[in-house]
Structure 1
Amino acid sequence: MGAPGTARRGPVGEAEYPPLSRRSGWSEGSFSEMKYYEQGTSAERWERARTFFDAKRYSMAADILGGLVEEVPDQVGPRLLLARAYYHSAQLKRAEDQLRVLVERDPAEHYARLMLGRTLQRQGRDAEAEPHLRLASALAGDFAAL
């Protein structure tokens, strides 16, 4: 391979590939470090993460969603799906951290609050989970559960 920043010839020699540059986000070493499913636009990675999640490949979904949440930290959907992927892959502390961010930003987000309660329960922290579960029931209109 040529030096970084130089054009390279294709396998047969007739096609040239553009030089790798820091500006494009690629370097000689980064390609091998990046997994194929972490590449693409935000929308492509979102769809790929949902596909992995639906296939119950929660750790792979979390790998993709972690980078996506860093790019779009204010969007609820990717962060909530990341928390669910962590929950289903038994990464409960990570799930709790993501859910607390959501609940702090929007205290009326009932599904995040329900997930936070369930995550705390699963960690054996029932007393801490109870207020979140009660509030989630009230926000969902399930007053019989109160």
Structure 2
Amino acid sequence: MDKLIEKFKALSDETRLRIINLFIKSGQNLCVCELMDALKIPQYAVSKALTILKNADLLTYEKEGTWVYYQLNRAVQENKSIFTFLRNFLTDKPFLEDEERLNQRLLLRENNRCVVGIIPEEDLVKLIKEKIRG
């Protein structure tokens, strides 16, 4: 019962709920820089939220060189029900805007991996426009 309470406490924060939404809707493994750009929040806020979600067994991670990719922890049976429930209710405008920014950011991936890292927003917009054009 304590683990279930911990999961719902982890989901009681707006930033963490927005992050979980991006994992649920994208179905992707995501790195911190991609989440930063999608949510337009600083690295420390994303990292803190990811740690709480990971400690609640909602996320897992894997390292690839200097990159760390997080993903939904579907190994825990109760998570599957939680993720299904959230998928149906996280449909407000802010969640949709986050999803759109993430989808644009994911266009910059190569071989389904982040290669850009953290960059200023104006440079990010230019890179996305170039990728869309050509």
TM-score by length of 2: 0.28
Greater Cα radius of gyration, structure 1 or 2: 1
